[in-house]
């Protein structure tokens, strides 16, 4: 792997300009003029600053005039019809959102972060102000899975189970069927690792092989970017910078090795710092929640993480 000094020197010798930050909301919405899909990385799963930015993006008056679908990672596909009804403003209990998030193929606590639920509620609120033809749809990107059929770890290995679920192909097919084929524009909100163009099994790779035109964004921090372009620490927060043909684009970032950053993604979103999310402490006092989540985590030998968080283990 090349060192930072070698990367910067090579970029300078090639006469590459630095990446330049821009207004992130305007820049993302503008990309939809040329791309049918914008893949926005979450940064750290459950990060509160990332959530704050996504909410500002969705609530911007230009968003609903530009974007048709939002594709989320924390949402079990079994709930698609009920979530459709909820976000378009039908008389559906808000509790359906928590159920769809909690029952994904991820057995751990990540889908329980309230930050994932907030997107559903925000879209419903926006939709209630819009005519029916402009309402935003949320597509649930996690493969349909029924936890009520799981009795032991062996059930996780059956066809369609957690250990056999092809999550990236599933969501790629979903986007191609529900967004691209219907000439709709989709914002994907997934973990950044799903966007690696060097990975033949990644979500972006699947979409582009199927013919979708994707603009991929790595969400990160000023400290991380400053390691590759020294002035990034002074960029506005938040800000977005296209990286193709720039010093930053030529960087060999460990997370995106073995290709240069610009061959993996198209832009970076700077959030300044991450503010990691978590499940609320009161969940520890909810017997039904603890029974459900510990059963699922124990199947993978990971339940003690939750027990320690809740003070049940030292």
Please give the backbone phi and psi of residue 139, each rounded to the nearest 5 degrees, phi first. -100, 130
pTM, entire model: 0.93
Instruction: Record the tokens describing residue 217, joined without a space.
Output: 């964004």
First-to-last C-alpha distance (Å) of the chain: 40
Structural contact between residues 186 and 150, judged by C-beta atoms closer than 8 angstroms: no
Measuring CA to CA, how many Å separate 313 from each of 48, 156, 199, 287?
27, 26, 39, 17
**Cα 104 to Cα 119: distance, rounded to the nearest angstrom:** 16
**Cα 300 to Cα 271: distance, rounded to the nearest angstrom:** 33
3-state SS class at 268: strand
**Cα 167 to Cα 203: distance, rounded to the nearest angstrom:** 9
Query: Judging by beta carbons within 10 Å of its beta carbon (0-12, 13-18, 19+), is residue 39 exposed, middle or buried?
Result: buried
Residue pLDDT tens, the chain, 314 long: 444 444 444 445 368 999 999 999 999 999 999 999 999 999 988 899 999 999 999 999 999 999 999 999 999 999 999 999 999 999 999 999 999 999 999 999 999 999 999 999 999 999 999 999 999 999 999 999 899 989 988 887 766 556 556 889 999 999 999 999 999 999 999 999 999 999 999 999 999 999 999 999 999 999 989 999 999 999 999 999 999 999 999 999 998 989 999 999 999 999 999 999 899 999 999 999 999 999 999 998 999 999 999 999 87
Going by their DSSP bridges, the two strands 239-242 and 267-270 should be labelled as antiparallel
* Domains located in the chain, CATH noted: 4-279 (3.40.50.11550)
Q: What is the pLDDT of residue 156?
A: 78
**Cα 240 to Cα 30: distance, rounded to the nearest angstrom:** 12
Measuring CA to CA, how many Å separate 132 from each of 64, 88, 135, 202, 307?
11, 8, 5, 34, 45
Strand spans (E) along the chain? 37-41, 69-76, 137-142, 186-190, 214-220, 239-242, 267-270
Contacts of 204 (CB under 8 A, 6+ apart): 39, 194, 195, 196, 197, 214, 216
Q: What is the pLDDT of residue 13?
A: 37
Query: Judging by beta carbons within 10 Å of its beta carbon (0-12, 13-18, 19+), is residue 98 exposed, middle or buried?
Result: middle
**Cα 143 to Cα 163: distance, rounded to the nearest angstrom:** 12
Q: What is the pLDDT of residue 173?
A: 97
Structural contact between residues 25 and 56, judged by C-beta atoms closer than 8 angstroms: yes
Strand spans (E) along 59-168? 69-76, 137-142
What b/e string do you get for 197-235 counting C-beta neighbours within 10 Å, with b at 16 or more? beeeebbbbbbbeeebebbbbbbbbbebbeebbeebeeb
């Amino acid at each position: 792997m090349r060192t930072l000094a070698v990367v910067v020197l090579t970029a300078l010798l090639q006469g590459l300009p630095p990446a330049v930050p821009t207004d992130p909301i305007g820049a993302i919405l503008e990309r939809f003029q040329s791309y049918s899909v914008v893949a926005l990385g979450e940064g750290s799963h459950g990060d509160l600053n990332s959530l704050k930015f996504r909410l500002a993006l969705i609530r911007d008056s230009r968003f609903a005039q530009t974007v048709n679908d939002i594709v989320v990672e924390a949402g079990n596909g079994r709930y698609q019809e009920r979530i459709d009804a909820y976000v378009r403003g039908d008389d559906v209990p808000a509790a359906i959102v928590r159920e769809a998030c909690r029952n994904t193929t991820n057995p751990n606590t990540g889908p329980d972060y309230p930050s994932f639920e907030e997107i559903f509620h925000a879209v419903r609120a926006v939709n209630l102000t819009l005519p029916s033809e402009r309402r935003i749809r949320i597509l649930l990107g996690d493969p349909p899975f029924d936890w009520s059929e799981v009795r032991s770890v062996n059930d996780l290995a059956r066809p369609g189970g957690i250990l056999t679920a092809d999550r990236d192909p599933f969501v790629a097919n979903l986007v191609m069927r529900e967004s691209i084929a219907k000439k709709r524009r989709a914002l994907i909100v997934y973990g950044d690792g799903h966007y690696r163009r060097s990975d033949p099994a990644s979500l972006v790779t699947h979409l582009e092989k199927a013919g979708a035109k994707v603009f991929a964004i790595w969400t990160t921090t000023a400290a991380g970017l400053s390691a590759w372009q020294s002035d990034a620490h002074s960029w506005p927060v938040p800000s977005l910078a296209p990286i193709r043909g720039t010093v930053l684009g030529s960087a060999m970032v460990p997370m995106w090795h073995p290709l240069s950053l610009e061959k993996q993604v198209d832009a970076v979103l700077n959030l300044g710092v991450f503010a990691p999310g978590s499940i609320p402490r009161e969940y520890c006092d909810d017997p039904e929640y603890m029974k459900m989540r510990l059963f699922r985590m124990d199947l993978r030998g990971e339940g003690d993480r939750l027990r320690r968080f809740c003070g049940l283990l030292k």
